[in-house]
Structure 1
């Protein structure tokens, strides 16, 4: 089984009791809501990753307010075509960010197909990845006086 380490940076952006999410197909093709963000490129600072990914996936320019926490997961992914199964270890840096410019738009030719603001109270009814709930929990538990 191949082993792969993936380090990624994501942001939670909340405005007027709405959270910004992107929609992406899961491993089985099911469309699910995710945090905007993604994998770090070699040599890239995580702050730069999250700023770049937010712009690519949502059209927004953001200012990173601070690190909320780190999430780690490990799972086995089945064989895909001729590729061997993968033991995937994901390390995800979760940031709080504020929209400072740009306009909402959908990513073209990327890993997501749309972005949208969702009422915080409606998130529990969305098909979403568990990282969304973990990030919201970190955001709710943060000390808003510390940036």
Structure 2
């Protein structure tokens, strides 16, 4: 089984009771809301990754105001016959930062991994179709655990 590792950085941006999210299309399924962020490029600092990714996905420039925590998930991804690839043992390491908007204007990403950026009321997030990292990010933001970890999440 092939093994892969992806390191990514995401932002929890809350302003006036609203959470900044991006929506990601899912082939054959309902789009999912995600924290703005994404994969590090080789040689890139995670701090720079989160700032770049938030701007790409939402149009906003953010100031990183803190590291909320680190989340890690591991899962086996099945072999995909159409792509003739082996099954994959995939691990995702996700650094979750707190951010504050300091410039730019809300817009959706063009030609990227997300299709829509929007502010969502904090009290309505549980009603959204979302990846588990949204809940993990909000727990880190609310609880601010000293160890920077709240447990495992999916997605």
Give the TM-score normalised by structure 2.
0.88
**Structure 1 residues 134 and 28: CA distance shift in structure 2, 3 A:** farther
Aligned equivalent of 2:42 = 42
The Cα shift of 1:76 comes to 1.4
Q: 1:1-147 counterparts in 2 under 5 A?
A: 1-26=1-26, 29-80=29-80, 81-142=83-144
The Cα shift of 1:42 comes to 0.6
Q: CA RMSD in A?
A: 1.4
CA distance in 1, matches of 2:84, 2:56: 30
Q: How many residues align?
A: 143
The Cα shift of 1:86 comes to 1.4
CA distance in 2, matches of 1:41, 1:77: 22
Q: Match of 1:67, SS?
A: strand
What whole-Å deviation, never above 9, does each CA across 1:18-55 have from its counterpart, x for those lacking one?
A: 00001113476431000000000011000000000001
Unaligned runs of at least 5 residues, structure 2:
146-155
Give the TM-score normalised by structure 1.
0.92
